[in-house]
Protein backbone atom coordinates (compact mmCIF):
# COMPACT_ATOMS: atom_id res chain seq x y z
CA UNK A 1 0.00 0.00 0.00
CA UNK A 2 1.44 3.38 -1.02
CA UNK A 3 1.14 6.42 1.17
CA UNK A 4 2.20 9.99 0.32
CA UNK A 5 5.48 11.06 1.83
CA UNK A 6 4.95 13.70 4.49
CA UNK A 7 6.68 17.07 5.08
CA UNK A 8 6.07 18.38 1.58
CA UNK A 9 7.71 15.52 -0.30
CA UNK A 10 4.60 14.04 -1.89
CA UNK A 11 6.56 12.81 -4.92
CA UNK A 12 8.26 10.13 -2.81
CA UNK A 13 5.87 7.39 -1.62
CA UNK A 14 6.07 5.20 1.43
CA UNK A 15 5.18 1.54 1.32
CA UNK A 16 3.44 -0.21 4.19
CA UNK A 17 5.72 -3.19 4.92
CA UNK A 18 3.96 -4.19 8.14
CA UNK A 19 0.80 -2.90 9.84
CA UNK A 20 1.47 0.74 10.63
CA UNK A 21 5.10 0.61 9.44
CA UNK A 22 5.58 2.89 6.43
CA UNK A 23 8.94 2.61 4.67
CA UNK A 24 10.23 5.23 2.22
CA UNK A 25 10.40 3.86 -1.30
CA UNK A 26 14.00 5.10 -1.52
CA UNK A 27 16.63 4.67 1.19
CA UNK A 28 20.25 5.77 1.28
CA UNK A 29 22.90 3.22 2.20
CA UNK A 30 26.69 3.32 2.50
CA UNK A 31 27.85 6.92 2.11
CA UNK A 32 29.73 9.56 4.04
CA UNK A 33 27.06 12.16 4.65
CA UNK A 34 23.55 10.99 5.49
CA UNK A 35 22.81 14.42 6.96
CA UNK A 36 23.10 15.87 3.46
CA UNK A 37 20.56 13.35 2.19
CA UNK A 38 18.18 14.23 5.03
CA UNK A 39 18.61 17.95 4.36
CA UNK A 40 17.64 17.33 0.72
CA UNK A 41 14.51 15.40 1.69
CA UNK A 42 15.59 11.79 2.20
CA UNK A 43 14.04 10.02 5.16
CA UNK A 44 15.21 6.42 4.70
CA UNK A 45 18.69 5.42 5.91
CA UNK A 46 20.19 1.94 5.47
CA UNK A 47 23.20 0.50 7.29
CA UNK A 48 24.53 -2.81 8.65
CA UNK A 49 26.95 -4.36 11.09
CA UNK A 50 29.32 -5.39 8.29
CA UNK A 51 29.48 -1.82 6.98
CA UNK A 52 31.51 -0.99 10.08
CA UNK A 53 30.93 0.78 13.36
CA UNK A 54 31.91 4.13 11.83
CA UNK A 55 29.15 3.90 9.25
CA UNK A 56 26.53 3.01 11.85
CA UNK A 57 27.68 5.85 14.10
CA UNK A 58 27.44 8.27 11.17
CA UNK A 59 23.85 7.19 10.49
CA UNK A 60 22.92 7.56 14.14
CA UNK A 61 24.55 10.98 14.31
CA UNK A 62 22.59 12.10 11.25
CA UNK A 63 19.34 10.90 12.82
CA UNK A 64 20.00 12.70 16.10
CA UNK A 65 20.97 15.89 14.27
CA UNK A 66 17.75 15.74 12.25
CA UNK A 67 15.69 15.30 15.42
CA UNK A 68 17.48 18.25 17.01
CA UNK A 69 16.58 20.29 13.92
CA UNK A 70 12.90 19.50 14.43
CA UNK A 71 12.31 16.43 12.26
CA UNK A 72 10.30 13.88 14.27
CA UNK A 73 11.95 10.51 14.82
CA UNK A 74 8.77 8.93 13.44
CA UNK A 75 9.46 10.57 10.06
CA UNK A 76 12.91 8.98 9.80
CA UNK A 77 13.27 5.33 8.82
CA UNK A 78 16.41 3.46 9.89
CA UNK A 79 17.34 -0.01 8.63
CA UNK A 80 20.21 -2.05 10.01
CA UNK A 81 21.30 -5.65 9.55
CA UNK A 82 23.04 -8.48 11.35
CA UNK A 83 24.96 -11.12 9.47
CA UNK A 84 25.23 -14.88 9.71
CA UNK A 85 28.32 -16.99 9.45
CA UNK A 86 28.40 -16.97 5.61
CA UNK A 87 29.32 -19.63 3.13
CA UNK A 88 32.37 -19.09 0.93
CA UNK A 89 30.10 -18.51 -2.08
CA UNK A 90 29.04 -15.23 -0.48
CA UNK A 91 32.04 -14.05 1.53
CA UNK A 92 34.95 -15.65 -0.26
CA UNK A 93 38.14 -16.82 1.45
CA UNK A 94 37.63 -14.54 4.46
CA UNK A 95 34.49 -16.33 5.55
CA UNK A 96 36.30 -18.75 7.86
CA UNK A 97 37.77 -15.86 9.82
CA UNK A 98 34.38 -14.15 9.95
CA UNK A 99 32.87 -17.35 11.30
CA UNK A 100 35.49 -17.54 14.04
CA UNK A 101 34.81 -13.93 15.01
CA UNK A 102 31.04 -14.31 14.89
CA UNK A 103 29.11 -13.36 18.02
CA UNK A 104 25.70 -14.17 19.39
CA UNK A 105 22.91 -12.71 17.18
CA UNK A 106 21.28 -11.01 20.17
CA UNK A 107 24.61 -9.36 21.01
CA UNK A 108 24.99 -8.24 17.39
CA UNK A 109 21.59 -6.56 17.54
CA UNK A 110 22.47 -4.85 20.83
CA UNK A 111 25.80 -3.78 19.31
CA UNK A 112 24.07 -2.19 16.31
CA UNK A 113 21.70 -0.22 18.53
CA UNK A 114 24.61 0.92 20.69
CA UNK A 115 26.67 2.10 17.71
CA UNK A 116 23.65 3.84 16.19
CA UNK A 117 22.85 5.44 19.53
CA UNK A 118 19.15 4.74 19.00
CA UNK A 119 16.52 3.12 21.19
CA UNK A 120 15.02 1.27 18.23
CA UNK A 121 15.36 0.75 14.51
CA UNK A 122 12.50 0.71 12.05
CA UNK A 123 13.72 -2.37 10.22
CA UNK A 124 16.16 -5.11 11.20
CA UNK A 125 17.34 -7.55 8.52
CA UNK A 126 19.22 -10.83 8.46
CA UNK A 127 21.84 -9.78 5.93
CA UNK A 128 22.12 -13.13 4.15
CA UNK A 129 21.23 -16.79 4.73
CA UNK A 130 23.45 -18.68 7.14
CA UNK A 131 25.44 -21.76 6.18
CA UNK A 132 22.40 -23.88 7.03
CA UNK A 133 18.72 -23.30 7.68
CA UNK A 134 18.96 -24.13 11.39
CA UNK A 135 21.47 -21.32 11.85
CA UNK A 136 19.33 -18.91 9.83
CA UNK A 137 16.31 -19.67 12.00
CA UNK A 138 18.40 -19.30 15.18
CA UNK A 139 19.57 -15.84 14.14
CA UNK A 140 16.08 -14.82 13.10
CA UNK A 141 14.66 -15.94 16.46
CA UNK A 142 16.85 -13.30 18.13
CA UNK A 143 15.42 -10.77 15.69
CA UNK A 144 11.90 -11.88 16.57
CA UNK A 145 12.68 -11.09 20.21
CA UNK A 146 13.81 -7.61 19.19
CA UNK A 147 10.56 -7.16 17.31
CA UNK A 148 8.51 -8.22 20.30
CA UNK A 149 10.47 -5.95 22.65
CA UNK A 150 10.09 -2.91 20.37
CA UNK A 151 13.79 -2.65 19.56
CA UNK A 152 12.82 -3.23 15.90
CA UNK A 153 9.50 -2.08 14.47
CA UNK A 154 9.78 -4.60 11.64
CA UNK A 155 12.13 -7.44 10.72
CA UNK A 156 13.06 -9.17 7.50
CA UNK A 157 15.72 -10.90 5.43
CA UNK A 158 18.16 -10.09 2.67
CA UNK A 159 19.68 -12.12 -0.16
CA UNK A 160 17.20 -14.98 0.24
CA UNK A 161 16.28 -16.55 -3.09
CA UNK A 162 12.91 -18.16 -3.73
CA UNK A 163 13.93 -21.63 -2.54
CA UNK A 164 15.64 -20.34 0.61
CA UNK A 165 12.58 -18.26 1.41
CA UNK A 166 10.28 -21.26 0.91
CA UNK A 167 12.34 -23.36 3.33
CA UNK A 168 12.60 -20.53 5.84
CA UNK A 169 9.00 -19.41 6.11
CA UNK A 170 7.43 -22.46 7.82
CA UNK A 171 10.02 -22.26 10.60
CA UNK A 172 9.57 -18.66 11.78
CA UNK A 173 6.90 -17.05 13.94
CA UNK A 174 7.09 -13.49 12.62
CA UNK A 175 6.73 -13.17 8.86
CA UNK A 176 9.54 -11.14 7.30
CA UNK A 177 8.41 -7.69 6.19
CA UNK A 178 11.15 -7.30 3.57
CA UNK A 179 13.40 -9.40 1.37
CA UNK A 180 16.22 -7.13 0.21
CA UNK A 181 18.15 -8.38 -2.82
CA UNK A 182 20.11 -6.93 -5.71
CA UNK A 183 17.79 -5.98 -8.59
CA UNK A 184 18.11 -3.66 -11.57
CA UNK A 185 17.78 -3.27 -15.30
CA UNK A 186 19.98 -6.02 -16.81
CA UNK A 187 20.40 -7.44 -13.31
CA UNK A 188 17.28 -9.46 -12.54
CA UNK A 189 18.13 -12.94 -13.75
CA UNK A 190 20.51 -14.38 -11.12
CA UNK A 191 18.83 -16.50 -8.46
CA UNK A 192 21.93 -17.15 -6.33
CA UNK A 193 21.08 -14.39 -3.84
CA UNK A 194 17.55 -13.62 -4.96
CA UNK A 195 18.53 -11.18 -7.70
CA UNK A 196 15.92 -12.51 -10.10
CA UNK A 197 12.31 -12.07 -11.19
CA UNK A 198 11.29 -15.46 -9.76
CA UNK A 199 12.43 -14.45 -6.28
CA UNK A 200 10.65 -11.12 -6.59
CA UNK A 201 7.45 -12.91 -7.57
CA UNK A 202 7.79 -15.52 -4.81
CA UNK A 203 8.45 -12.80 -2.24
CA UNK A 204 5.40 -10.81 -3.28
CA UNK A 205 3.23 -13.95 -3.38
CA UNK A 206 3.99 -14.33 0.33
CA UNK A 207 2.85 -10.71 0.88
CA UNK A 208 6.42 -9.71 1.69
CA UNK A 209 7.80 -6.48 0.24
CA UNK A 210 10.66 -7.00 -2.20
CA UNK A 211 13.48 -4.48 -1.85
CA UNK A 212 16.35 -3.75 -4.22
CA UNK A 213 19.89 -2.74 -3.44
CA UNK A 214 22.16 -1.70 -6.32
CA UNK A 215 19.11 -0.52 -8.33
CA UNK A 216 21.35 1.24 -10.86
CA UNK A 217 23.01 -2.02 -11.88
CA UNK A 218 25.79 -2.79 -9.45
CA UNK A 219 25.23 -6.55 -9.84
CA UNK A 220 24.39 -6.50 -13.54
CA UNK A 221 26.95 -7.84 -15.99
CA UNK A 222 29.12 -4.84 -16.74
CA UNK A 223 27.88 -3.02 -13.67
CA UNK A 224 26.27 0.39 -13.35
CA UNK A 225 28.25 1.72 -16.30
CA UNK A 226 26.70 -0.86 -18.59
CA UNK A 227 23.15 -0.04 -17.46
CA UNK A 228 23.52 3.74 -17.59
CA UNK A 229 25.15 3.69 -21.03
CA UNK A 230 22.72 1.20 -22.57
CA UNK A 231 21.09 2.60 -25.75
CA UNK A 232 17.56 1.65 -24.68
CA UNK A 233 17.99 3.27 -21.27
CA UNK A 234 19.42 6.40 -22.88
CA UNK A 235 16.63 6.60 -25.45
CA UNK A 236 13.94 6.36 -22.77
CA UNK A 237 15.77 9.03 -20.78
CA UNK A 238 15.91 11.30 -23.82
CA UNK A 239 12.17 10.79 -24.42
CA UNK A 240 11.48 12.06 -20.89
CA UNK A 241 14.22 14.73 -20.84
CA UNK A 242 15.77 13.10 -17.80
CA UNK A 243 18.88 11.14 -16.84
CA UNK A 244 19.59 7.48 -17.46
CA UNK A 245 19.98 7.07 -13.68
CA UNK A 246 16.45 8.39 -13.11
CA UNK A 247 15.10 5.91 -15.66
CA UNK A 248 17.02 2.99 -14.13
CA UNK A 249 15.82 3.86 -10.65
CA UNK A 250 12.23 4.47 -11.72
CA UNK A 251 12.09 1.15 -13.59
CA UNK A 252 12.63 -0.48 -10.21
CA UNK A 253 10.42 1.70 -8.02
CA UNK A 254 7.52 1.76 -10.49
CA UNK A 255 7.21 -1.99 -9.83
CA UNK A 256 6.48 -1.23 -6.17
CA UNK A 257 9.98 -2.24 -5.10
CA UNK A 258 11.63 -0.43 -2.19
CA UNK A 259 15.12 0.72 -3.21
CA UNK A 260 18.43 1.29 -1.47
CA UNK A 261 20.93 3.50 -3.24
CA UNK A 262 23.69 5.87 -2.15
CA UNK A 263 25.42 9.10 -3.06
CA UNK A 264 27.29 11.93 -1.36
CA UNK A 265 26.62 14.25 -4.30
CA UNK A 266 23.70 16.64 -3.77
CA UNK A 267 22.62 16.67 -7.42
CA UNK A 268 22.46 12.86 -7.50
CA UNK A 269 20.42 12.70 -4.28
CA UNK A 270 18.03 15.34 -5.61
CA UNK A 271 17.70 13.42 -8.87
CA UNK A 272 17.00 10.18 -7.04
CA UNK A 273 14.27 11.80 -4.95
CA UNK A 274 12.77 13.56 -7.97
CA UNK A 275 12.68 10.36 -10.05
CA UNK A 276 9.27 9.48 -8.61
CA UNK A 277 7.73 12.21 -10.77
CA UNK A 278 8.70 10.13 -13.82
CA UNK A 279 6.14 7.70 -15.23
CA UNK A 280 7.31 5.05 -17.64
CA UNK A 281 4.82 3.59 -20.11
CA UNK A 282 4.01 -0.12 -20.23
CA UNK A 283 6.02 -0.38 -23.44
CA UNK A 284 9.01 1.40 -21.90
CA UNK A 285 8.91 -0.85 -18.83
CA UNK A 286 8.91 -3.92 -21.08
CA UNK A 287 11.74 -2.62 -23.27
CA UNK A 288 13.86 -1.85 -20.20
CA UNK A 289 13.10 -5.28 -18.73
CA UNK A 290 14.51 -6.84 -21.89
CA UNK A 291 17.88 -5.07 -21.62
CA UNK A 292 20.69 -7.59 -21.18
Tell whether 19 is covered by a domain.
yes
The contacts of residue 163 (CB under 8 Å, 6+ apart) are none
Tell whether 234 is covered by a domain.
no
**120, 164 in Cβ contact below 8 A?**
no
Residue 4 has pLDDT above 60, yes or no: no
Tell whether 48 is covered by a domain.
yes
pLDDT digits (tens, 9 = 90+) for 41-65: 999 999 999 999 999 999 999 999 9
Tell whether 141 is covered by a domain.
yes
**CA dihedral over 253, 177, 159, 167, signed as positive or negative:** negative
Angle of CA points 274, 9, 289, to nearest 5°: 40
Q: Determine the pLDDT at residue 84.
A: 85
Structural domain of residue 10, as residue ranges? 2-221+255-279
Task: Provide the percentage of residues in the chain whose pLDDT is more than 70.
Answer: 90
Q: Classify burial at 70, counting beta carbons within 10 Å of its beta carbon; exposed 0-12, middle 13-18, buried 19 or more.
A: exposed
CATH of the domain at 119: 3.20.20.100
Q: Determine the pLDDT at residue 257.
A: 98
Tell whether 76 is covered by a domain.
yes
Tell whether 228 is covered by a domain.
no
What's the rounded mean pLDDT across residues 213-237?
A: 97
Residue 89 has pLDDT above 60, yes or no: no
Q: Determine the pLDDT at residue 5.
A: 39
**143, 124 in Cβ contact below 8 A?**
yes
Residue 247 has pLDDT above 70, yes or no: yes
What's the rounded mean pLDDT across residues 102-131?
A: 94
> pLDDT category, 102, cuts 50, 70, 90?
low
Tell whether 287 is covered by a domain.
no
Do strands 178-182 and 209-213 pair parallel, antiparallel, or not at all (unpaired)? Answer: parallel
Residue 91 has pLDDT above 80, yes or no: no
Average pLDDT, the chain: 92
pLDDT digits (tens, 9 = 90+) for 134-193: 999 999 999 999 999 999 999 999 999 999 999 999 999 999 999 999 999 999 999 999
Tell whether 243 is covered by a domain.
no
Question: Could you tell me the pTM of the whole model?
Answer: 0.92
**72, 87 in Cβ contact below 8 A?**
no
Number of structural domains found in the chain:
1
> What contacts 24+ positions apart, CB below 8 Å, involve 132-138?
133/164, 133/167, 133/168, 133/171, 135/84, 135/85, 136/84, 136/164, 136/168, 137/168, 137/171, 137/172, 138/105
**Which of 222, 279, 273, 211 minimizes the C-alpha distance to 247?**
279
Amino acid sequence: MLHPFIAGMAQVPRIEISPGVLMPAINFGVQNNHSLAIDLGARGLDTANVYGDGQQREVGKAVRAAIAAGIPRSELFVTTKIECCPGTAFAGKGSSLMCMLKKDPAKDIAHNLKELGLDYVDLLLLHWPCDNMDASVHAYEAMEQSYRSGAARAIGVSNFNASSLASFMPRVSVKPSINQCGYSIAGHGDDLWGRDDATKQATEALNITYSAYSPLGGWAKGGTGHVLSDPTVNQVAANHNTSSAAVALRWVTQQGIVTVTSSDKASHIEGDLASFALHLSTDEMARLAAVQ
